[in-house]
Amino acid sequence: MVSCPARLTVLGNLFLILIYGYLMFLAATFLSNGSELLLEILGPGIVGGLFLPILGALPDAMLILVSGLSGSTETAQSQVSVGMGLLAGSTVLLLTIIWGTCVIVGKCDLEDSVAIDSQDTRGFSFDWHLSRKMTIVKHDCSGVSTDIWTSYAARIMVLSVLPFVIVQLLQVLHSTSARHLAVLIALVISISLLITYCLYQVFQPWIQRRKIAFVKHKHVILGLLQHLKQRALGRLLRDDGEPDKEIIKKLFSTIDENDDNYLSVSELRALIVGIRFEEIDLNHDDAVDKVMKDFDTSRDARVSSEEFVSGICRWLNRAKRSQVTSGDAGPHTMKFLSGFHLETKREHDLLDVRDQSDEIFEGVENAKWISIKASLLLLLGAVIAAAFADPLVDAVDNFSDATSIPAFFISFIFLPLATNSSEAVSAIIFASRDKRRTASLTFSEIYGAVTMNNVLCLSVFLALVYVRGLTWDFSSEVLVILIVCIVMGVFASFRTVFPLWTSLLAILLYPFSLVLVYVLDYVFGWS
């Protein structure tokens, strides 16, 4: 029977955990709100790619840091399990409960989602995910559809577990100094991944613009070829399937209004204005620029007859490399354009080009006041996190001693709720909007938060273990992180459509993780 002082100790520390946990929740909320304001003013790039992801992981990193700094080596060894519990708990919570809830509330219409036929991997080299045979299908079930950027974020998250794998594999070494060296190697790799990830985030908007421009260029090719096909009554190819240069020259003559054997910018614009580019709001001046850039090899701001014929032949051969649809009546027909259209459509769908206009940065009123407010929120959040991280770790450790509940399980279940609740609520609300772009951003942020946990928070943890000479005995905890990250990461890397049933599988991973750690630690004695 528990004595009265022991009960007071349990209740007192539980009360302190709730109070300090709420303060850490406030710190995370201030940091999140300040980050959003700062991003609204400054946009992506250095701020969005470097500072904001680090600020988002600051509460977790602060708690992990203080868990290994307090007291003697023995005390630090005891309390550092709080940091590992937080690290594992945050990762598992984000990828299971929060991920699954976002799928449930994401009332996205899957009519335009893409179904992958894994039996055919021929064709397009723009991206492995886009090179697979796909068809546009209609789903009657609810779920979430994301864009290709979300798949990229999931793949990066899988790569971010590399330091866990290295430190875990090298722990089989029997020498204490060798294990200490293993922690150092994992620390160096973790810091390198952190720097690489931040650089990727900085340059990611540029990468996105390049790929979106690529897809828009293919829309121009498709639109112009279809338009010329109609004007030539479908006879742009000879019977042997090669481009019919004579027909193309005759088309050139009909477009060359002043008969000077050159197409000017105005003549190209007159041709392109009559083209309706499907599924994309493409500026006609931009389309003219793309045609001129492809055709005008002499760079004299006009297109000669030879340049026009050569350019159309190149475009026809490029379109022919797409998958030919069934029912092709012969090599001289233009049926391959339908295959090229499907290829362009699926790239357009995965990149979600139609929503990119939302990203145009508009001038923000009262930018000075918003920047001051953002800075104050960030400062306040950082100060609160720094001030109350150590008391919270002490309260968890004392509560663990008083109840004989392992500190890992307390921090695994409770602390992530304190440091990730504001982001979780925002993500769920954001995902509930009936729009594909919001779902893509939500899941990308989830994968990004886990990646930052795996590189920033792990770097802090490994640095503590190395500097203070602590023992690495977190085999089961690391295994849980690896299983959840790899399972969810690989799953999200190979698809952009998530029906409702996927949420159940994700949510079930949470209790599975807790049971697995308990069995490995207290049944098989791993740690």
CATH number for the domain including 350? 1.10.238.10
416-432 pLDDT, tens digit each: 888 876 667 666 766 66
- Is the same domain home to 237 and 336? yes
Distance CA 164, CA 80 (A): 16
pLDDT of 510 reads: 94
Question: Does the reported pTM lie above 0.75?
Answer: no
Q: Indicate whether 455 belongs to any domain.
A: yes
- Is the same domain home to 352 and 388? no
Name the packing angle between helices 475-493 and 162-169 (round to 10°): 140
Q: Which amino acid is at 477?
A: E
pLDDT of 210 reads: 56
Alpha carbon 506 to chain centroid, angstroms: 17
What are the residues whose beta carbons fall under 8 Å from the beta carbon of 197, sequence distance 6 or more? 53, 156, 160, 451, 452, 455
What percent of the chain stands above pLDDT 70?
A: 72
- Is the same domain home to 336 and 205? no
- Is the same domain home to 349 and 385? no
Q: Indicate whether 463 belongs to any domain.
A: yes
Of the candidates 382, 461, 446, the one whose C-alpha atom is nearest the C-alpha of residue 24 is 382
Q: Which residues of the chain have pLDDT under 70?
A: 1-8, 39-53, 107-142, 174, 205-215, 233-234, 274, 276-283, 321-337, 339-365, 421-423, 425-427, 429-438, 527
Q: Which two tokens stand for residue 224?
A: 């112009």
**3-state SS of 451-468?**
HHHHHHHHHHHHHHHHHC
| Burial tier of 118 (Cβ tally within 10 Å: 0-12, 13-18, 19+) | exposed
- Is the same domain home to 381 and 315? no
Q: Which two tokens stand for residue 419?
A: 């440091």
Domain boundary among 328, 357, 386: 357
Phi and psi torsions of 3, nearest 5°: -70, 165
Of the candidates 42, 11, 24, the one whose C-alpha atom is nearest the C-alpha of residue 386 is 24
Query: Residue 430 is part of which domain span?
Result: 4-214+366-522
- Is the same domain home to 436 and 484? yes
Question: Which stretches does DSSP call E strand in 203-292?
Answer: 262-263
| Burial tier of 121 (Cβ tally within 10 Å: 0-12, 13-18, 19+) | exposed
Are 174 and 498 in contact by the 8 Å Cβ rule? The answer is: no
- Is the same domain home to 226 and 209? no
Domain boundary among 312, 331, 357: 357
Q: Indicate whether 61 belongs to any domain.
A: yes
Beta bridge partners of 498: 144
- Is the same domain home to 248 and 334? yes
- Is the same domain home to 112 and 171? yes
- Is the same domain home to 422 and 481? yes
Q: Indicate whether 482 belongs to any domain.
A: yes
Domain boundary among 310, 325, 357: 357
pLDDT of 329 reads: 45
Q: Indicate whether 30 belongs to any domain.
A: yes
- Is the same domain home to 402 and 497? yes
**Quick one: which H or E segment has residue 521?**
helix 501-522
Count structural domains, the chain: 2
| Burial tier of 1 (Cβ tally within 10 Å: 0-12, 13-18, 19+) | exposed
Distance CA 136, CA 150 (A): 19
pLDDT of 418 reads: 80
Beta bridge partners of 117: 133
Q: Indicate whether 527 belongs to any domain.
A: no
- For residue 498, give the 3-state DSSP assignment: strand
- Is the same domain home to 294 and 405? no
